[in-house]
Structure 1
C-alpha cells in the first residue's frame, strides 16, 4: 500500500486502505426491539465504535467523536442476521478525520446482504491532555476515493462556514 503514495506526499501520509476496518456480529434477541429488529441506538454504537477504530488506525492516536454529519437508516436488521460494518477514512484535515461507515445485514442461511445504514462521522485526534493533535494526510488512490475525498473537503468547508 505504501508504494501507492506519490513521492510528493509527506512520508507519514496514509492510504484509505490502511484505515479500512470491517466488523461482523450476530444480532441476538436482547439487541432487538418489539419488531424483532436491532435497536437503532445499538447500530449507532457499532458505527461509533468502528469509526473510532478506523480513525485510530489512521493516526495511531486516541480519538473522540466530534460529529455525525449524516446517519441514514435504510432498512432493518432482524434477529438471527449478521450485522456487517465497513469503515474507512475519506479525508484527513489538520487534527480531524471524516469516516464513512456502511452497514449491511446478512441472512446467514441464504447469503443475502442488504445495505441498511450509512453514516459520516468526524473524529478528532487528541493528545494526553485531550487537546487536538495533528494527523497524517490521506492519499486517495482510485477514482472512488478521490471523489469521496473531494466531497469530504466540501462538507468540511461548509461546517467551517456554519461554525463561523
Structure 2
C-alpha cells in the first residue's frame, strides 16, 4: 500500500435516477434516501483510499439546500479532503439535474469522517494525502479546523465541566423556559 495518495486517486461519483419510490409525502425525494446514498459514496471513497473496510464515525453538517424532484438525475461526488492516522474526511457533493431542461442544482455538501478497520474491527493506519493545489490545501485546512472546533465544543460542554451560571445570559431572548431543580 502507498504511504500517500492524491485525492484524485480515490475520487468516486455516481448518478442515479430518482424514482417515485424515493419520494416523501410532499412529492420530493426523501432526505433520508439522499443521506443513505451519501453514506454509501463516502464509504466507497474512503475504502478506495485506505484499501480497507471503513465505517462512518461522524457526519458534519447536513444542509438540504434545494429539493430534488422525482425524475431528476442525482449525481454524488466524493473526494478525500483530510487524512489523520486512522481516519479520513470525505467531502460529498450532491447535485440534481432536470433531464428536460438541463438545469443543475447544488442540493447538498457534507463531510463524513470515516475510519479504516482491519478484519478484526481494529482501527488501522491510512495513507496520507498528497495535496497538489490551493483548493486541496483549503479543503485539508478547513477539515482540520472543523475537527479542532468539534473537539473544543465537546470539551466546553462536557457534563462534568458545564457551569449553568455561565450560560444564563447566553440563553436570554431564546425560546426556552428554565425550570431547574
TM-score normalised according to structure 2 size: 0.82
Deviation at 1:154, TM superposition (A): 1.4
Distance, in Å, in 2 between the alignment partners of 1:30 and 1:154 is 39
Question: Counterpart in 1 of 2:177?
Answer: none
Distance, in Å, in 2 between the alignment partners of 1:15 and 1:159 is 26
The answer to whether residue 22 in structure 2 is matched with residue 31 in structure 1 is: yes
Question: Counterpart in 2 of 1:143?
Answer: 134
Distance, in Å, in 2 between the alignment partners of 1:30 and 1:15 is 37
Deviation at 1:12, TM superposition (A): 2.0
Question: Counterpart in 2 of 1:72?
Answer: 63
Distance, in Å, in 2 between the alignment partners of 1:28 and 1:58 is 31
Question: Counterpart in 2 of 1:8?
Answer: none
Question: Is the contact made by 1:71 and 1:118 (CA closer than 8 Å) also made in structure 2?
Answer: yes
Question: Counterpart in 1 of 2:105?
Answer: 114
Deviation at 1:75, TM superposition (A): 0.8
Stretches (4+) displaced over 6 A: none
Gaps of 5+ in 1: 1-10
SS at match of 1:79: coil
Q: Deviations over 1:51-87 (max 9, x none)?
A: 0000011110000000001111001110100111011
Q: Which residue, out of 40, 51, 54, partners 1:63? A: 54
TM-score normalised according to structure 1 size: 0.90
Question: Counterpart in 1 of 2:117?
Answer: 126
Considering only aligned residues, what root-mean-square deviation do their CA atoms show, in Å? 1.5
Question: Is the contact made by 1:70 and 1:121 (CA closer than 8 Å) also made in structure 2?
Answer: no
Q: Deviations over 1:107-160 (max 9, x none)?
A: 112211000111111000011111111000001111111101111111222334
